[in-house]
């Protein structure tokens, strides 16, 4: 019995030793494979070093002006800093202050109102314009493409001057027409809700043509034989638009909705050049990014501004996902 017990014990020890040996062999092979992959990667880089040298400026500039500011803003969001004195670590206190900041939540509300008032009509108009330009009966398509894209490349300052004249409280062009029709003039740039309409109009005017060109590129990828088959079957233009164009254009629509959401929530230039850094009367034009800019470069509270920027990041991420899910579900 003792001999059998010793024999079983030795067998168990041998099995354990064999198992450990196999694990060591597998681990060694994995490590050698990883080392071989790393060395192959470096050999590939050395072999094609001229190609990597050509594209290196982009990555160098991205590291300096892109990645470093992003990482530093994370550090700065936990510090109180006015840009001159030594930064003071304050932990999560600035995040707590942001959640209790009434002006911050008001800027979020203003941003969403302007985003909704501008994005919905902008994308609808862009889709209709692209569909019309893509139609066969339209002559001179290239001319229309250029004309609709011009507002996007026009100087924002020039656009602001035009819209300030258009929406002027006393001598604006719109109020002139309203008085000619016997209606009371509207104080566009003094009342918060009308100020938001004015800013939304600037956004629609600037970016409708841009989105129309994107939609037009998507429309040109749709096979023409589908439209011909629908015409033979007796489908009207409206039926063709909703049964063929919209479903096949769904990926492009999702792209424009997401990019418009990101751009709308980062709205800064239009309100800043139209009404300045203060957000206008009643703060009706104070968007999130304009509020961030005011905290950083007017009040010199760079740590709190970094905190707001990360709050904006999470808001954009959440609503981009929501938009993607909603548009995808409606398409399905």
What does the domain layout of the chain look like in residue ranges? 2-89, 93-331
Give the Cβ contact number of residue 277 at 10 Å. 13
> In percent, how much of the chain has pLDDT > 90?
34
* Mean local confidence (pLDDT), 75-101: 92
Q: Which CATH number fits domain 93-331: 1.10.3720.10, 3.30.67.10, 3.20.20.370, 1.10.132.20?
A: 1.10.3720.10
Contact between 179 and 173 under an 8 Å Cβ cutoff? The reply is no
Q: How far apart are the first and last CA of the chain?
A: 73
Q: Which of the residue ranges 13-17, 46-50, 263-267, 325-329 has the most confident prediction, judged by mean pLDDT?
A: 263-267
**Furthest-apart CA atoms within the chain: distance in Å:** 116
188 close to 198: Cβ distance less than 8 angstroms: yes
Res. 4 pLDDT band, cuts 50 70 90: very low
Reply yes or no on whether the pLDDT at 320 is more than 90. Answer: no
pLDDT mean over 23-52: 62
5 has a pLDDT exceeding 70: no
150-208 pLDDT per residue, tens: 888 888 888 888 888 899 888 888 998 988 888 888 999 899 999 999 999 999 999 99
The H or E element spanning position 321 is helix 302-331
Residue 259 near residue 213, CB atoms below 8 Å: no
Task: Give the confidence band of 49 by pLDDT, cuts at 50, 70, 90.
Answer: confident
């Amino acid at each position: 019995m003792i001999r059998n017990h010793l024999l079983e014990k030795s067998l168990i020890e041998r099995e354990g030793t064999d198992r450990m040996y196999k694990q060591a062999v597998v681990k060694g092979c994995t490590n050698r494979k990883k080392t071989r992959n790393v060395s192959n990667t470096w050999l590939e880089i050395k072999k094609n070093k001229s190609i990597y040298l050509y594209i290196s400026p982009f990555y160098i500039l991205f590291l300096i002006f892109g990645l470093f500011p992003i990482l530093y803003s994370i550090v700065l969001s936990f510090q109180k800093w006015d840009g001159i004195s030594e930064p003071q670590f304050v932990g999560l206190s600035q995040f707590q202050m942001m959640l209790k900041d009434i002006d911050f939540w008001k800027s979020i509300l203003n941003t969403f109102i302007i985003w909704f008032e501008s994005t919905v009509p902008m994308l609808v108009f862009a889709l209709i314009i692209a569909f019309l330009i893509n139609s066969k009966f339209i002559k001179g398509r290239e001319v229309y493409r250029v004309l609709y894209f011009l507002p996007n490349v026009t100087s924002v300052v020039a656009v602001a001057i035009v819209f300030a004249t258009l929406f002027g409280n006393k001598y604006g062009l719109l109020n002139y027409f309203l008085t000619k029709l016997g209606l009371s003039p509207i104080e566009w740039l003094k009342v918060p809700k009308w100020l938001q309409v004015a800013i939304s109009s600037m956004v629609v005017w600037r970016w409708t043509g841009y989105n129309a060109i994107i939609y037009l590129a998507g429309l040109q990828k749709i096979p023409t034989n589908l439209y011909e088959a629908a015409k033979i079957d007796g489908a009207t233009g409206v039926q063709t638009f909703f049964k063929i164009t919209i479903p096949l254009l769904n990926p492009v629509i999702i792209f424009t909705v997401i990019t418009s959401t990101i751009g709308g929530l980062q709205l800064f230039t239009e309100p800043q050049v139209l009404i300045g850094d203060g957000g206008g009367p009643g703060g009706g034009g104070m968007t999130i990014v304009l509020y961030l800019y005011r905290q950083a470069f007017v009040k010199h509270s760079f740590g709190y501004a970094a905190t707001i920027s990360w709050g904006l990041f999470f808001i954009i991420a959440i609503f981009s996902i929501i938009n993607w899910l909603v548009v995808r579900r409606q398409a399905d």
